[in-house]
Structure 1
């Protein structure tokens, strides 16, 4: 009964979405306030109905209702409760229902918190948002229905993919979708502004909080996925340039460019057309990512589905919304005339450079991701584009971005003096060079990657600190003024520092990682770097729904025991899939990472050991970036939205 109610609620939400996509749009065009007023209750109703549908599907997973096809394919009665819950979105159909739930949540939030928006713009934003919902409701109901029943339910299910039975993957998709789908609000605001015929500073102030929230969620989601890949896959890497990884990274880069571009629109009434284009492309790349994950056109360990028919449906959605938005963008070019002028040395110019670097970097990732498909379709050649290409093509843009970020943050609007700003940053430069020189002197190898990465990261962190300090003026009580500084300024500095810390972690790990692969006998010590390891025992252990081969490894340094590690190889009998569970002794400056392999003919065991310097700085930097975004979101200027442009009681002209 609950399942049928969930299915009915999904269909009803689809019908409400159709009404919301049409009626407010006509009302805004005709200035019919009653029709425009339909948007808000419809958005809330649409969210509540979708939430009820999602709750019904969750209930089916929790009680192991094996009359539901989706539960049979992705659950098992012996599975731990956390993975029964995450199993709801650990598959194609359930993950798409989560996608639509978040899509309707953002629409409802716009209805709840959009009180400062002019009525016509608000109606159009909610209508465009609902039009996206209509497309994805249709996709779910007609191609990916999660409520299909089985005539003869089996005794038990086939279990969830073992790789997904992990805390990191339980929380990774919801955060990633909050970011992916959150960018739809920037798209809706852009299209609504083009229909309205007005792109100004107030619009930029309205769109920035939505973009910033989506970017924060996307940052957290990508970091969780990277962390999962690091410790769960047993490869010891944090990023593999996998197509699905790239699918989330591209909108993150474009979203970051959009955030910085919107600042210029808000402050200087410049870069209007570029900002609107970025808002369209940010969500466009989210749809491209959805296509990559769902269609099976590109091979990935993360891909949910391998169904070309579903991929074609998403391709039509992408073509409709992107084609329509870009056509409208071209038709409304006259309303995006820039007003502000600025010199070559100014904050505006620095933000333009920032945008170019981020956009080109995203384009490089896109080309590298899609090129194997293009080569196969048009040249009948099977190609693989891997890490060497991405590292070589992508890294230079990030190096230049890291160099200009502190300078650009401190330049004044309209016209600046590079020498004056440079004098403020001398301490940051001295510190960065000193750290790089120390790293180069201490390292055993001759690679310059580590010292350069440390120089860039330290330059960005110290530059962010100097940026804050320079805003406190002169004289006494500078610390008091620092505490009273707007949260948006703090958020910017913290986010830039977080990016610098991530730079340090990535470069340190890639430059100074040590790897050791050998056959180890029980009780035989072996050295890796400065550490001594002993494989004491290997036992067979039974888990809740898996069988594990678990090693017992003692880690020592200079004769002192540091930790006991328990690497595992698990086999899930129902899914008939093995997984590797690395054992990690984590620390601020290094991780010791141990993976146990197969038994050998001489009675030993294959053991892989890695020493990973600064690995945790990668995720620490990501967390700090997200904290910076949250700090900016709590700034009072965002909470009041664009209060100065509050709509009069009789509405605001649309043209």
Structure 2
């Protein structure tokens, strides 16, 4: 009964979305307040109904209702509760229901908090958002219905993909979808502004919180996915340039560009056309990611489905929305005239360079991701584009971006003097140079990757601190410290996010330059050395799990006479799914990780053991946490809230119609 209720709620939400997509749009065109006002209760009702539908599906997974086909395919009675819940979105149909739930959530936030938006803009934003929701609900109901019943329910289910039975993957998809779908909100704002024919400073202020929120959630989602790949897959890497990894990384890059471009629109009313285009392309790349994970055209450990027919439907949705947005952009481009002018030595110029670097980097990732498919379709050649291409083509843009970022953050608007800013940043530059020289001297002739990475990391962190200190005036240091504590949260958020990027860059460079690896066959009781650490394989035992069997090794770690600890790497077999997984044993540290993987038993009685020493590994995710924290700090600044910003603009004389 509950699942039928969830199915009915989804159908009713689809009908309301159709009303929300049409009636407010007509009302805005005709200037009919009553018709425009329909968007608000419709958005709220749509969100409530989809929430009920999602809750009904979650209930079916929790109680193991095997009359539901989706539960049979993705659950099992012995599975822990957390993975029963995460099984709701650990599949194609359930993940798409989560997608439309988040689309409705973002629409509801405009209904709840957008009271100071001009009525016509608010109506059009909610109408476009409803179109997106209606398209995906139609896809869900007609091709991917999560509420399909079985005439004869089995006694038990087939279990969730064992790779997804992990805390990192339990929370990774929701955060990633919050980022993907957050860009749908910026797309809706962009199309609504194009329909109205007006993009101004107030629009830039309204769209920034949604862009920032999308970027923050994408950052968390990507970091969780990278962390999962690091400790779960057993290969020891944090990034493989996998097609699905790239599918989330491309909209992340474009959302960074959009965020900085929207700042220029808000502050200087420049880059209007470019900002609108980025909003359209950002959501377009989110849809491309959805297509890649579900079409089966590109293989990936992350992929949800292998169904080209459903993939083609998603491709059609992508084409419709992108064509509509780009055609409207071309038609309205002439109305988006820039008002602010700026010199070469200005923050605007640096933000333009920032945008160009990020956009080109995203394009490189896009080409590298899809080129194997293009080569096979049009040239009948099977190619693999891997890390060497991406590292070579992508890295220079990030290096240049890291170099200019502290300078751009401190330059004044409109016009400024780069020399004056560089004088302020000279202590940070000298510190970064000293760190790079020290690393180069210590590493005994290895590659330049580590010195460059450490220079950029130090430069970004120290530059962020100099930027904050420079905002405190010219009084004594005690007064300046007091003023620093009272700086707006947006200033702190920017500094923390930029510093987080520096920490991540340093972590990536250190890990890639200094990582050590040892692969051997070891007998129980063997001791061996890896980069100064002693690895002792003390025991290997068979242990039962709640829904798996595991071969668990006990490995003691020491350095000289100092005992470091014990790790327990496992190789698990899930009988229902018939699939093995690897659980690495990791001793985490601030400056390094000791990473041990147990493999298969060998003919001679020993065990395959892989050991890695990974310097600065945790800096990668620590930097991502700092970036996300910086985003949250900026979001908490009252000046960046939609309602506060809108009231300020309306009070300043921005017309409502």
Match of 2:549 in 1: 547
How many angstroms apart in 2 are the aligned matches of 1:215 and 1:594? 34
Structure 1: which 5+ residue stretches go unaligned? none
Count of residues in correspondence between the two structures: 653
Once the two structures are superposed, what CA deviation does each residue of 1:396-454 show, in whole Å capped at 9, x if it has no partner?
A: 00000000001111111111111110000111011101111111122245211011100
CA drift of 1:225 comes to 0.2
Q: Secondary structure at the match of 1:324?
A: helix
Paired with 2:399 and 2:602, the residues of 1 have a C-alpha distance of 45
| Paired residue secondary structure (2:645) | coil
Distance 1:566 1:646 in 2: 61
1:605 aligned onto 2:607: yes
Distance, in Å, in 1 between the alignment partners of 2:434 and 2:249 is 32
Q: What is the CA distance between 1:645 and its match in structure 2?
A: 2.9
- Equivalent of residue 574 in structure 2, options 572, 583, 596: 572
Q: Which residue of 2 aligns with 1:106?
A: 106
Alignment of structure 1 residues 288-307 onto 2, 5 Å: 288-307=288-307
The corresponding residue for 2:278 is 278
- Quote how far apart the aligned CAs of 1:473 are: 1.5
CA contact (8 A) 1:495 1:626 kept: yes
Query: In structure 2, how many angstroms separate the alpha carbons of the residues matched to 1:586 and 1:507?
Result: 18
- After TM superposition, list the pairs within 5 Å mapping 1:472-551 onto structure 2: 472-476=472-476, 477-551=479-553
Deviation, 1:112, is: 0.3
Alignment pair present for 1:308 and 2:312: no
**TM-score, structure 2 as length reference:** 0.98
For 1:438, the equivalent position in structure 2 comes to 438
Query: What is the rounded CA distance, in whole Å, between the counterparts of 2:104 and 2:88 in structure 1?
Result: 18
Question: Partners of 1:561 and 1:361 in 2: how far apart?
Answer: 45
Residue in 2 aligned with 1:268? 268
1:379 is matched with which residue? 379
Q: Pairwise mapping of residues 181-220 of structure 1 onto structure 2 (< 5 A)? A: 181-220=181-220
Q: How does 1:386-405 map to 2 (within 5 A)?
A: 386-405=386-405
**2-side partners of 1:340 and 1:647: how far apart?**
21
Q: Indicate the residue corresponding to 1:652 in structure 2.
A: 656
Conserved? CA contact 2:128–2:192, under 8 Å: yes
Q: Contact 1:116/1:647 (CA < 8 Å) preserved in 2?
A: no
Mean CA deviation greater in 133-142 or 476-485? 476-485
Cα shift at 1:652: 3.1
CA-atom RMSD, angstroms?
1.2
| Alpha-carbon distance in structure 2 between the residues aligned to 1:509 and 1:540 | 33
2:143 pairs with 1:139: no
State how far apart, in whole Å, the 1-side matches of 2:627 and 2:409 are.
Answer: 16
Q: What is the CA-CA distance between 1:524 and the residue it aligns to?
A: 1.4
Cα distance in 2 for partners of 1:384, 1:187 equals 33
Moved over 2 A (4+): 644-653
Q: CA–CA distance in 1 between the matches of 2:590 and 2:321?
A: 45
Q: Map of 1:584-599 to 2, 5 A cutoff?
A: 584-599=586-601
**1-structure distance, mates of 2:581, 2:276:** 45
Aligned twin of 1:622: 624
Match in the other structure for 1:61: 61
Q: Write the mapping of 1:71-470 to structure 2, written as runs, cut at 5 A.
A: 71-470=71-470
Give 3-state SS (helix, strand or coil) of 1:552's partner. strand
Kept in 2, the 8 Å contact 1:93–1:145? The answer is yes
Residue matched to 2:646: 642
The answer to whether the 8 Å contact 2:77/2:157 transfers is: yes
* 2:447–2:513 CA contact under 8 A, matched in 1: yes
What secondary structure does 1:594 align onto? strand
More moved, 232-241 vs 432-441: 432-441
CA distance in 1, matches of 2:535, 2:254: 45
SS in 2 for 1:332: helix
SS at match of 1:70: helix
SS in 2 for 1:238: coil
Aligned to 1:28: 28
Distance 2:387 2:445 in 1: 22
1:342-392, Cα deviation, whole Å (9 max, x unpaired) = 111110000000000000000000000000011011101111100000000
Residue by residue over 1:146-202, the C-alpha shift from the partner in whole angstroms, topping out at 9 and shown as x without a partner, is 000001111100000000000000000000000000110100000000001110000
Shift of 1:647: 8.5
SS in structure 1 opposite 2:538? strand
Verify the 8 A CA contact 2:650 2:656 in the aligned structure 1. no
Instruction: Work out the CA distance in 1 between the residues paired with 2:399 and 2:265.
Output: 26
